[in-house]
Homo-oligomer: A and B are copies of this chain.
């Protein structure tokens, strides 16, 4: 079977570039029925030696240090944007104008305004586009979506999600530079709100619909840190922690929290949704499980079910091993690539698109506005 090539230009060589590259390399082994196969064409990174080593390690045909060489390259079909956030818009717009498909890391942008230029660009150009909110494709999370869509939960009353980490507690940790751009507000746009809550918001709206208004608080616990680019101690601009509550369009209440100061939690992303007839819970630290409470069960033996989502009749799991055998974090990216490739075959969008991700930007911006003004803010989300 001869496959259509999807020639990838990767911009960035950090953590996310690794997860995506791995996905492109593996998707064909596990989803052999797909018409398209990714080809790792070129990778771009700021430091020549490092980008060449990355190309060698991951099998890219070439390495460059100027992203325009990717955007302008006729042998590239799709641009994967894994740069720090401040470059997303410029690259995406150029790529769209050059007619490339775009797979952009989340968050879409630093601001709603910036995000809108990106949405406009891809929609004007009519190019296939998606944003890497990868957690949707963890099988247990996809199963949660199926359960919600089945109506089993009934009317929804509550949604809550946390994303707790602890890696920035040390005040000696610097900010900025290649390794720590997530702590530099100019580059990242925000702290945990764009980095972690954006994930929670994407999942939440996918499962439970639009978020209408928000009331938030943010905190920056360590006020000053050495900046690695200026080599001076500078004010920290990002939010170290952010908590908000909200109304969803469907009348349910939401409660969200994210922080990098929760000692003992490395990457504790959890969500729970409570409906009239049932509830669901999930936890990234044990990502193959979904918990489900079904009020329809006979009352004496009713309880939260711990579902090990590794059977062939559960989402994506017919592609992997045998029942009981776990998959990991990286598989969510492989699934998103498989879905992206399938979207090409079917001529459909691959969710979440830039337009979908822009709705998450609106919530993020409303959160930050709410926190700084100490007041409720409408999000303007249309879901």
Contacts and interface: CB of A to CB of B under 8 A. Distances in A.
A32 interface: yes
Nearest to A286: B286
Contacts of A266: 308, 310-311, 322-325
B329 A327 contact: yes
B158 A261 contact: yes
Contact of A293 (B264, B304, B374): B264
A313 interface: yes
Contacts of A186: none
A250 to B, nearest CB: 12
A263 interface: yes
A2 B157 CA distance: 50
Interface residues of A, number: 97
A119 to B, nearest CB: 29
A313 B299 contact: yes
Q: What 8 pairs between A and B have smallest CB-CB spacing?
A: A267-B324, A266-B324, A264-B293, A303-B307, A303-B305, A328-B328, A266-B323, A157-B261
Interface of A: 1, 15, 19, 21-22, 25-26, 28-29, 32, 53, 56-59, 143, 146-147, 153, 157-158, 160, 164-167, 169, 215, 217, 219, 221, 241, 243-245, 247, 251, 253, 255, 257, 259, 261-268, 274-279, 284-295, 297, 299-308, 310-311, 313-314, 320-331, 374-376
